[in-house]
Amino acid sequence: MKTRFEYYQSIRHTQPDLFYTPKLQHQMRQEQKLMGKAFFDQYEMSFLEVTK
């Protein structure tokens, strides 16, 4: 599992052209503002799709 910060760092390393776009930078900053410290500490959770 990765933290939200690690998720963005993986994009920075694998897709630098995408990482440095204004849209992604804005999205990352907005998430950081909303999440605060959790942006760096909280782990992403994988959700399973439930079918009936």
List pLDDT tens digits, range 4-32. 999 999 999 999 999 999 999 999 999 99
- pTM over 0.85? The answer is no
pLDDT on residue 45: 59
Three-state SS at 50: coil
26 versus 50: the higher-pLDDT residue is: 26
As a whole number of angstroms, the distance between CA 3 and CA 25 comes to 17
pLDDT on residue 9: 95
Asked if residue 4 lies in contact with residue 31, where contact means CB atoms within 8 angstroms, the answer is: yes
